[in-house]
Amino acid sequence: MDTQHTRDAQFWDERYGSRDQLFSGEPNGVLVTEVSELPPGQALDVGCGEGADALWLARRGWQVTAVDISRIALERAAEAGTDVTGRVAWTRGDLTGIRPPAGAFDLVSVQYFPLPRHHHAALHGLLAAVAPGGTLLVAGHDLADLGSHSEQGFDPSYYYHPGDIAELLDDAWAVLVNETRSRTAPAPPGAGHTHDTVLRARRLR
């Protein structure tokens, strides 16, 4: 694989280790908007980072499996979540190489997770993880923003985007949201992300 696309545990540990806190500590706006009215159940937080989304869910009654490839990110997340110990399973793993259990989650949340297009099995594993009646929520950056503000060596076309995933869903799914919208919170300093692309779908069977 081209080294510009290789983002492994070392890459992410170095990125998180470069500062005391990489992200804001607030849950993603898309998650808050789309999930606030859902009854709590079992959730899978894909690429959980420092844990803001997983902690928001757990504090609202969800039982969360929070997965990330970075040891440093998970350690920070666990430190921030001592009030919900037992409600979050902080799990180190690479979801491009392992499959979560099928039909196990009422919510699979994929917030800005860079899933390469050639990892078809990983995507299908995430889709299969949603239980009947459960919700798939995928958020990404609008390609129009990425075109002018992408990182050096980062090719947005290399990764799945929410609209791509929506096109792959069959009649076992009901697509409830598939749109581009303004961000509810400012992008991180130095980023030009002003809009999100959002997919929310319910598994019918």
Residue 20 has pLDDT above 90, yes or no: no
User: Percent of the chain beyond pLDDT 90?
Assistant: 69
With 0-12 / 13-18 / 19 or more C-beta atoms within 10 angstroms meaning exposed / middle / buried, residue 128 is: middle
pLDDT in tens, 70-111: 999 999 999 999 999 999 999 999 888 789 999 999 999 999
Written as one letter, the residue type at 152 is Q
Q: Which amino acid is at 54?
A: A
pLDDT band at 154 (very low <50, low <70, confident <90, very high): low
pTM of the model: 0.87
Tokens for 82?
Answer: 């001592």
Rounded Cα gap, residues 8 and 14, in angstroms? 10
pLDDT exceeds cutoff 90 at 9: no
Q: Which CATH class is domain 94-144+155-203?
A: alpha beta
Compare 144 and 114 and report the one with higher pLDDT. 114
Residue 193 has pLDDT above 80, yes or no: no
pLDDT score recorded for residue 185: 74
Beta strand ranges found along 77-194 (DSSP E):
88-92, 105-111, 130-141, 173-182
For residue 63, pLDDT beyond 70: yes
Q: Which residues contact 101 (CB under 8 A, 6 or more apart)?
A: 129
pLDDT at 161 over 90: yes
Q: Where are the domains of the chain?
A: 94-144+155-203
Q: Which residue has the higher pLDDT, 41 or 143?
A: 41
Cα-to-chain-centroid distance, residue 124: 15
